[in-house]
Amino acid sequence: GETFVTALEQAVGADVRASRSLVGAAKLGGSWEMSEHANKPRPPLTQDGMVYYGGVFTAGDLTLTGLIDGSGKSINTFYLVDTNNTPEASDDLIVGSFVLPATPDVASHFSITVTVPDITHTYLVYDSGFRLYGTLTAVADIDPVMAGD
């Protein structure tokens, strides 16, 4: 995270801010405070905008868990594709990838966490031949004040 923000600042020639928590409406667990900053940052919205904004920015982590069955012949690369919640494939975007071993020599269970741009979107998991392997869809949050509960 911090290394990426520093590299991004150098690449764009401007200050870049980052948050380690939800950004947005307090009633949904968000805040307009930035965790890391060199100078006093300006908020992303005006004071009225912060008061009346009714949501939170929805980037977050997806954790994929499963079992390696041991039938593979090579390293297995998988791609996570954001559908942007549209039926058209033209706006789909690869947002992550992960590699699993072909055989479970040491451990057969896996847990992979991928940061995604919007936890409310539908994501498709493709294997290295870009054959659809699975679909991930958002489910309702039990406690909207504490994200992920």
- The domain locations on the chain are 2-52, 60-136
Class of the domain covering 60-136: mainly beta
Percent of the chain with pLDDT over 70: 79
Q: What pLDDT score was predicted for residue 107? A: 76
Task: List pLDDT tens digits, range 75-107.
Answer: 678 888 988 888 888 889 888 888 887 777 777
> Does position 129 have pLDDT exceeding 80, yes or no?
yes
Rounded mean pLDDT of 40-53? Answer: 71
Cβ atoms of residues 88 and 143 within 8 Å: no
Q: pTM for this structure? A: 0.53
> Does position 30 have pLDDT exceeding 80, yes or no?
yes
Angstrom CA distances, 127 to 8, 33, 43, 100, 130, stand at: 30, 39, 41, 11, 5
